A and B are shown apart, each in its own frame.
Chain A
Amino acid sequence: MMSRTQTAGSKPSAVSRALARDRLGVPAVLGFVLAGVAPLTVAAGVIPTAYATTGLTAIPAAFLVVAVILGIFAAGYVAMARRITNSGAFYAFVARGLGRPAGVAAALVALVAYTFLQVGLYGALGPAAASEAAEHLHVHAAWWQWALGAWVVIAVLGLLRVDITGWVLGVLLTAEILVIIAETLSGLAHPAGGHLSFATLSPAGVASAGFGTFGVLAVVAVLGFVGFEQAPVLAEEARDARRTIPAATYAALGMIAVVYAGASWAMAAHAGQSQVVTAAGRQGPGLLFGLGGNGLSQAAQFLFLTSLFAAALAFHNVVWRYIYALGRENVLPAALGRTGGNNIPKTASLTQSLTGLATIGIYAAAGWNPMARLFFWLGTTGGFGILLLLTLTAAAVILFFARDPHGENAWRRLIAPALAATLLAGVVVLAVKNYHTLLGVPPGDLAAWALPASYAAAAAIGLGWGLILKLWRPRTYAAIGLGAHAITGQLTPSTERAPS
């Protein structure tokens, strides 16, 4: 009990040792990150739909190229994450680096992006559940009815603050990754025409259909990597923040890149590079499932369902955490930052759930295709939003360290973020100009400018609100970006202040 600590005075701090025991190592942080990434959702959901909608075949190469860019980005990102509180949120970086009004703009952009990502998942969850139920249970219901059912479960779990963690998460993730690898190997072993082509892996292919298509491919790839940026959420819980967070971040990037590049390559190799787009249009997620035998395919289809569900719950948690943190800061109404009985942030959770319900309702009423227009359109637009945030964060890292190097070397505080910011900004520009290709619509289509414009609107509202707060409520303004620490004004996490 407590009395043991009295005799520990001569050894290294009893408090340090006790607190370290509580803390998370790399595997736990990595698991948390990969949960949000949801490998099978991307491998069976995003990749085939991307092939079909964009008509581009250099998707495997795109994953590899984007992995390198994100790896460069991560160098400065994790270095700054150690130095700020509330490092789980991009807007905290932007607020500390580019100023508080920009921080509020980034917060709203992030809210929109993660919301798109979460509600978009229902567009895949509904159809996947419907087809599984039709095949195995002989129950036939519309996609949106299944989507609503899933929505109810997630809304309730969100209110109960349930998160899929621990061994359940570990089992699911391991199974997903193993299934993808198995399908990949099977697909590579049976290439179209008996001859395995490496063409889709070649980085040169990324610009083959015109330089602008790299922007489109990069958005798809970034969508696959979304979630890797969540590692700093656990910074204050990590055993050795200096090493655990970067290690988990790079491990996640590496694993994701290999798994997705491999899976998308196998799909293209198995169908044949010239056929893969039509095959994807016909089979959808079946493009991945069909790479292996029947047993593997059945297992993959079931795990696809659980993966989508886990991802929807994980992103529900990301969105309410943003809402809650902004409510704690009083940037959003304070009611959103309050917990009800049992420390449950009810209002934040319910708010996110309501946006999901509204979206399912709109798509069901309008009769739009859920996989293409809800899952892929909103999902990739969410990915585009993350791309914007990555660019802003890279710029924020540079300015943060320009004011005070905090002892970091030039690579981490300047060269890497500058390189990343330039590359990412270039990708953003290319993506905006070719957004119609991403959505698979004719140039000038309403969706092709309205979807990216939603971010411009969010950023403008955020900037304006930030400036209003500066004039109207200076105390709130001063605490922007601090999240839970808004109440204490603490700028640096305690793990950084005390010498370890």
Chain B
Amino acid sequence: MAQLSGTGRLADDLFLMAHSDVTGKPLLQPRAIGLGLAGALLAELMLSGRICAGPDGVAVADPTPPWEELARVILGALLSEREQRPVGDWLLFLARTAVADVARRLAQSGYLARVAGRRGWRGGRWVPVDADCAFAPLVRVRPALVPSRPVTVPAACLAGLAAACGLAPRMFSYAPPNATRRCLDEAVGRLDPVLRHLITQTQAAVDSAVLSLRV
């Protein structure tokens, strides 16, 4: 059942931010959304203490299976890799299926509905069930954009990842007039180094995709 407070999961919020709250159409290039969501999925596992990223790559800190299905599957993939891989590799790997996976998760939570395409053979589109709930993440992110408002770690993380995949113009267009880029950078700068590293790696991956014209 869709609620204004959201599912509480980073990737869900990022998905809703990256798509139109009314029509569900993507507002970014497909690869950029995929990389952003991949970063958000990894961030969810980091915030729950299951994984951490060091100079050697991403490692599993706590192998207890999470109760959420998608997180469980990703943790399983991390555990089944014999060697540690850098964050960038995991971003590229997860980005391949992130959009579909997160959309399915949001549908199960009641935020998205599948609408059949006009031409029968073309797959349908995911459309938000409630436009206000779909818009809510843009409001949740606001404290990270304005000075002297207390920012929670998830909000700062969401803002950082959204900016990394190219949603900064959108965030700022719906933010109060005293919102500045510098506040966003400071909010992200106060995050744990591991989360910061994840956000910069996501940014670099998206920029590389733009540069190599494979976005």
B21 to chain A, nearest CB (A): 15
Q: Check if B208 sits within 8 Å of A484, measured CB to CB.
A: yes
Q: Complex Cα distance A236/B26, Å?
A: 26
Q: Check if A13 sits within 8 Å of B203, measured CB to CB.
A: no
**Which of A9, A22, A317, A328 meets B80, CB within 8 Å?**
A9
Q: Check if A5 sits within 8 Å of B89, measured CB to CB.
A: no
Is A18 interfacial (CB-CB < 8 Å)? yes
Q: Check if B211 sits within 8 Å of A340, measured CB to CB.
A: no
Beyond A341-B169, A484-B208, whether A15 also contacts B28 by CB under 8 A is no
Name the residue of chain B whose CB is nearest to the CB of A328.
B207
Q: Check if A233 sits within 8 Å of B29, measured CB to CB.
A: no
**Which of A19, A163, A485 meets B208, CB within 8 Å?**
A485
Q: Complex Cα distance A171/B93, Å?
A: 32
Is B22 interfacial (CB-CB < 8 Å)? no
**Which of B32, B80, B88, B213 meets A5, CB within 8 Å?**
B80
Is A76 interfacial (CB-CB < 8 Å)? no
Q: Complex Cα distance A335/B201, Å?
A: 20
The stretch of A144-152, A190-198, A486-494 that contacts the partner chain:
A486-494
Count of residues in A whose CB is under 8 Å from the partner chain: 42
A256 to chain B, nearest CB (A): 22
Interface string of A211-247 (1 = CB under 8 A from B): 0000000000000000000000110110000000000
Name the residue of chain A whose CB is nearest to the CB of B199.
A487
Q: Check if B86 sits within 8 Å of A14, measured CB to CB.
A: no
Is A294 interfacial (CB-CB < 8 Å)? no
Q: Check if A487 sits within 8 Å of B204, measured CB to CB.
A: yes
Q: Check if B211 sits within 8 Å of A484, measured CB to CB.
A: yes
Chain B residues with CB below 8 A from A18, complex form: 93, 96
Chain A residues with CB below 8 A from B211, complex form: 88, 233, 321, 324-325, 483-484
Q: Check if B215 sits within 8 Å of A343, measured CB to CB.
A: yes
Name the residue of chain A whose CB is nearest to the CB of B213.
A163
Q: Check if B92 sits within 8 Å of A19, measured CB to CB.
A: yes
Q: Complex Cα distance A410/B89, Å?
A: 32
Name the residue of chain B whose CB is nearest to the CB of A348.
B210
Q: Check if B29 sits within 8 Å of A343, measured CB to CB.
A: yes
B113 to chain A, nearest CB (A): 20
Is B114 interfacial (CB-CB < 8 Å)? no
Beyond A2-B101, A483-B211, whether A343 also contacts B206 by CB under 8 A is yes
**Which of A3, A163, A341 meets B27, CB within 8 Å?**
A341
A-B contact pairs, 10 of them (CB 8 A): A2-B74, A8-B80, A9-B82, A13-B82, A14-B81, A233-B212, A324-B211, A339-B166, A343-B206, A485-B208
Is B61 interfacial (CB-CB < 8 Å)? no
Chain B residues with CB below 8 A from A8, complex form: 80
B106 to chain A, nearest CB (A): 16
Is A471 interfacial (CB-CB < 8 Å)? no
B14 to chain A, nearest CB (A): 15
Highest count of chain A CB atoms <10 Å: which of B32, B77, B81: B77
Is B200 interfacial (CB-CB < 8 Å)? yes
Q: Complex Cα distance A332/B32, Å?
A: 24
Name the residue of chain B whose CB is nearest to the CB of A325.
B211
Name the residue of chain B whose CB is nearest to the CB of A490.
B204
